[in-house]
């Protein structure tokens, strides 16, 4: 199925196809030139090094035995040239990052709220959702720094749709080039309206495709113990949160260990903006923090859990900063329970708990969720999640009001 026939009236996807095709022409020319240059330089290298001749074997039966194909991928710098960050977009990200860092470090008494769909699958619905975030930022800006959850990659416990980056057409065509272009185009449009974005990082290569467009990074439960994710967190330009892992008693400690790792400098292999392998050296991220999302023992957002997490952070000498995820394990995967979580967090904030720096809420235009059948995206209900359950716009507004009200009370008490 061609991308054109799989579209469902999305102008962003239509335009992304044009951009993808143009940039792939560029990448093929660059790749061919680089290959030719290497072929010209490599002959005689062993002789120049003084190595003796060998009886060699190309070992084709040992290499890529389970690889079906390899495709050229658009370089981040090519995409950035075609779709540059605007002054408006840069200002949105710059201001939001500074605000989040100030909140995490206790220099701003507001709360961070990362709110939006479990995962983005429809650009038009995402842009409509962003219009609500604009209104919320205007209404609650004195109390809440609201960041739109713009998750384009989806972790899977087993198999399933892996997110907009990997399958933007929702038909298992796996057009990653199209997904990368459409992700940058959509994220650009969102930040250009003044709405900062937050993303979960699953792949160390994808962040460069949205450089300058993301204000907040999250590392999910499945990746918190992954050394590569921790190294990425040490170098990301955004504040980064690590979710507690799935185990019971040790889950928060695993997140705290990830924060310790991310706060330190690292050297590791990565890919540069021109798609070539680089040695990456980082300074460490002093805004790394933990996110509580529930674990094998159940939810972990109540006061006893917060105090336990504070103790772990203290033992590690870490920033006393906690974000509470109202969804996932804390809601037991039921969207209706998110309001219960927020109500409890609001009470703790009202009572003077300073370590809680913000919350995450899974929210979309419509509440609930729906099942994705690959190739049948036309049958999906507009504005409803195709992954985890979300709360509706109205329910979200109620929760934001609860948090703002709690902050007002805490300020009066102070």
> Given 1.10.10.10, 2.130.10.10, 3.30.830.10, 3.20.20.70, which CATH number is that of 76-413?
3.20.20.70
Which one has a higher pLDDT value, 257 or 3?
257
How high does pLDDT run on average in the chain? 93
The three-state secondary structure class of 311 is helix
Question: What is the structure's pLDDT at 10?
Answer: 55
The continuous run of DSSP H or E covering 80 comes out as: helix 76-82
Lowest mean pLDDT among 2-11, 98-107, 117-126: 2-11
For tokens 């195709």, name the residue.
386
Lowest mean pLDDT among 185-194, 200-209, 389-398: 200-209
Give 70's Cβ-side CA count (13 Å radius): 4
Backbone angles phi, psi at 262, to 5 degrees: -70, -25
**Which tokens hold the place of 203?**
């792949």
Whether the pLDDT of residue 2 is over 70: the answer is no
Whether the pLDDT of residue 205 is over 90: the answer is no
Percent over 90 (pLDDT), the chain: 85
Q: Which of 280, 234, 292 is CA-nearest to residue 259?
A: 234
pTM of the model: 0.93
Question: What is the structure's pLDDT at 413?
Answer: 81
Tens digits of per-residue pLDDT, 4-52?
334 344 589 999 999 999 999 999 999 999 999 999 999 999 999 999 9
Q: Which residues contact 264 (CB under 8 A, 6 or more apart)?
A: 234, 284
Tens digits of per-residue pLDDT, 269-311?
998 999 999 999 999 999 999 999 999 899 999 999 999 999 9
Question: What is the structure's pLDDT at 1?
Answer: 37
């Amino acid at each position: 199925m061609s991308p054109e026939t799989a579209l469902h009236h999305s102008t962003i996807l239509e335009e992304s196809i044009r951009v993808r095709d143009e940039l792939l022409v560029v990448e093929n020319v660059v790749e061919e030139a680089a290959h030719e240059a290497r072929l010209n330089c490599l002959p005689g290298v062993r002789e120049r090094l003084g190595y003796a001749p060998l009886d060699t074997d190309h070992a084709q039966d040992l290499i890529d035995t389970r690889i079906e194909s390899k495709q050229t991928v658009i370089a981040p710098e090519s995409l950035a040239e075609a779709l540059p960050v605007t002054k408006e977009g840069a200002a949105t990200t710059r201001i939001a990052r500074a605000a989040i860092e100030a909140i995490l470090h206790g220099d701003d008494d507001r709360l961070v709220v990362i709110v939006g769909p479990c995962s983005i699958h429809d650009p038009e619905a995402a842009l409509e959702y962003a219009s609500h975030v604009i209104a919320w930022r205007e209404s609650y800006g004195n109390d809440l720094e609201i960041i739109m959850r713009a998750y384009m990659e989806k972790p899977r416990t087993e198999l399933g749709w892996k997110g907009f980056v990997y399958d933007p057409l929702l038909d298992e065509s796996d057009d990653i080039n199209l997904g990368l272009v459409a992700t940058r185009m959509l994220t650009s449009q969102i930040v250009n309206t003044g709405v900062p974005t937050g993303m979960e990082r699953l792949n160390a290569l994808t962040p460069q495709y949205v450089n300058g467009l993301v204000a907040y990074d999250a590392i999910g439960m499945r990746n918190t113990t992954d050394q590569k994710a921790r190294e990425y967190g040490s170098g990301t330009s955004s504040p980064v949160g690590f979710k507690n892992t799935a185990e019971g008693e040790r889950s928060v400690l695993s997140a705290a260990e990830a924060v310790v790792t991310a706060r330190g400098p690292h050297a590791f292999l990565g890919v540069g903006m021109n798609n070539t392998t680089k040695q990456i050296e980082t300074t460490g991220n002093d805004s790394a923090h933990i996110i509580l999302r529930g674990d094998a023992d159940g939810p972990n957002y109540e006061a006893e859990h917060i105090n336990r997490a504070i103790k772990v952070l203290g033992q590690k000498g870490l920033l006393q900063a906690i974000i509470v995820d109202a969804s996932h394990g804390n809601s037991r995967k039921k969207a209706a329970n998110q309001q219960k979580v927020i109500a409890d967090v609001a009470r703790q904030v009202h009572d003077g708990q300073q370590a809680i720096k913000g919350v995450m809420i899974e929210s979309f235009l419509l509440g609930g969720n729906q099942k994705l059948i690959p190739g049948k995206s036309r049958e999906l209900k507009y504005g409803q999640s195709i992954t985890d359950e979300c709360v509706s716009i109205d329910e979200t507004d109620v929760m934001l009001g609860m948090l703002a009200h709690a902050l007002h009370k805490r300020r009066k008490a102070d």
